[in-house]
Structure 1
Amino acid sequence: MARRKSALELVRPDQGGAPSRRNRVNFFELAYQRIEDLLVNCELKPGRFLTVQELQTATGFGRTPVHNAVNQLAADTLIIIRPRHGLQIAPIDLARERLLLGLRRDIERFVVKLAAERASLSHRNQALHIERVLKEKHAAMTLDEFNKLDRRIDALLLAASGEPFLTHTLRPLHTIYRRIGFIHHRYMPGQTNVAGTIERHVAILNAFANRRIDRAVAATDALIDFMDAMFDGMESGIDPSLLDCSIEPLLAT
């Protein structure tokens, strides 16, 4: 009797037959998420040049899913494709990203309102569960732990809104500002505590779960205001080489 292939063998892109369309999509999504993680925590430094092969090594995925993820990240303005020079991780332009925060405010208002109106019982239960986790781990939560939950919150609200177009619009903005938050909390003096951003996400989740639309919109505005305030300190207090690694770091005096 022939041995039944494992699920891993059936979907591995580097073996035998081509994987199914669904599995190709899954590999693309996983490759995208992995590269997004590396962007957010600056393991892929802003301004860095690299090749697709280096991204394959960094993520553990094959050429096709990485190539597709790179194309999407380029469309999202997070990676720049430089003909004959490879890829460049988009440097951080604080002025541009502060300007785009106004766009995110308008879209987030629309999303949270739609999500609160359309949310199923399952969506609301998930929100209450994440809210409980944030409250329980409030004092001890690390930045990496928070960012994982933050991605889940973003995905939950987008799923509850029921409008796929919004995902394509907001997802790159979420990545941009998760990276800003990472740099702010990791490198700005006295800003390692993530309690402030946790409190604002708790307010959004609670209002969303209880279908309090006006409160949800107000809580979203409060989060955007909190993020906007990050730029005040970063514009004057962050070493420019952290925003673009091609810039020579300043020597300590």
Structure 2
Amino acid sequence: MKNRSTELREALEEMIAVGTLSPGQHLDETELAARFEVSRTPIREALIQLASMGVVVIRPRRGAIVAELGPQQLVEMFEVMSELEATCGRLAARRMTVEEQQALQAAHQACKEALDSQGPDDYYYRNEAFHEAIYAGSHNQFLIEQARSLYRRLRPYRRLQLRVRNRLSNSYAEHDGVVQAIISGDGDKAAELLREHVMIQGQRFSDLMASLPQLGKQAA
């Protein structure tokens, strides 16, 4: 059973992911305690948890802020993310059970339904489940933990990417190739496709940089 600070951590993490709390925003413990109708203690514990994940930065005597990622740091983190996902895909192609392959196909179908309804937020959550299915299929717990940790730090930015024009349909088409490669057992192809799917460079980087100001406005 989750304790209150863990529930608060998850709620705050979600608010950061969807832009309700934007990069660089000050996180006032008193305001958050009033918002969630709790004392400051579980809020402080939740912020410490988020800081350990790199999602929040706690500054001595100045309180906590939502972590900000500069352009160079974003590129470097997406570069590492693409390699982690590529490795997950390569291992998943070799190790996925039939049941896990079916779960991956179901997650892919769920993305198709979200695409058809043109709901970027819905697609974002289905997309997260799709990638999680690939992580699980790698059967490497250390790799899964590292991939999840970095995915969490990049959530606001991965979500923002999906709002770029035509990105939903392109993302789904890329998923389709990944699924086929994994199901057919072609680990090298799965790795190559996932690396390209996650890597942010060229026009995709320009689009993300242009979209960053929207992060703080999505809840408005």
TM-score by length of 2: 0.80
Is 1:160 paired with 2:137? yes
- 1:174-185 pair list within 5 angstroms: 174-185=151-162
Structure 1: how far apart are the matches of 2:178 and 2:25? 35
Structure 1: how far apart are the matches of 2:140 and 2:38? 29
Q: Would the aligned equivalents of 1:127 and 1:209 in 2 still touch at CA under 8 Å?
A: no
C-alpha displacement at 1:181, in angstroms? 3.3
C-alpha displacement at 1:211, in angstroms? 2.7
Aligned residue for 1:138, secondary structure, equals helix
Q: Would the aligned equivalents of 1:52 and 1:63 in 2 still touch at CA under 8 Å?
A: yes
- Alpha-carbon deviations, 1:173-226, whole Å to 9, x = none? 21343312333444x6xx27521122222322333234331221122022024x
Q: Would the aligned equivalents of 1:134 and 1:202 in 2 still touch at CA under 8 Å?
A: no
Structure 1: how far apart are the matches of 2:129 and 2:102? 13
CA RMSD of aligned residues (A): 3.1
C-alpha displacement at 1:93, in angstroms? 1.2
Q: For residue 70 of structure 2, what is the amino acid of its counterpart?
A: D
- Alpha-carbon deviations, 1:136-176, whole Å to 9, x = none? 44332311111111221232222222233223322232134
Number of the residue aligned with 1:75: 52
Number of the residue aligned with 1:207: 181
- 1:92-171 pair list within 5 angstroms: 92-171=69-148
Q: For residue 116 of structure 1, what is the amino acid of its counterpart?
A: A
Which fold has the larger relative contact order, with Cα–Cα distance below 8 Å and residues 6 or more apart in sequence?
2
C-alpha displacement at 1:107, in angstroms? 1.6
Question: Does the C-alpha gap of structure 1 residues 137 and 147 become closer, same or farther in structure 2, counting only changes over 3 Å?
Answer: closer
Number of the residue aligned with 1:197: 171
Fraction of identical pairs, as percent: 19
Of 17, 20, 24, the residue aligned with 1:40 is 17
Number of the residue aligned with 1:249: none
TM-score by length of 1: 0.71
Q: Would the aligned equivalents of 1:47 and 1:243 in 2 still touch at CA under 8 Å?
A: no
Aligned residue for 2:64, secondary structure, equals strand
Paired residues in the alignment total: 216
Aligned residue for 2:54, secondary structure, equals coil
Structure 2 segments unaligned to the other structure (5+ residues): none
Question: Does the C-alpha gap of structure 1 residues 192 and 220 become closer, same or farther in structure 2, counting only changes over 3 Å?
Answer: closer
Question: Does the C-alpha gap of structure 1 residues 139 and 51 become closer, same or farther in structure 2, counting only changes over 3 Å?
Answer: same
Structure 2: how far apart are the matches of 1:168 and 1:57? 33
Structure 2: how far apart are the matches of 1:54 and 1:141? 35
Is 1:86 paired with 2:45? no
Structure 1 segments unaligned to the other structure (5+ residues): 1-22, 246-253
Is 1:233 paired with 2:210? no
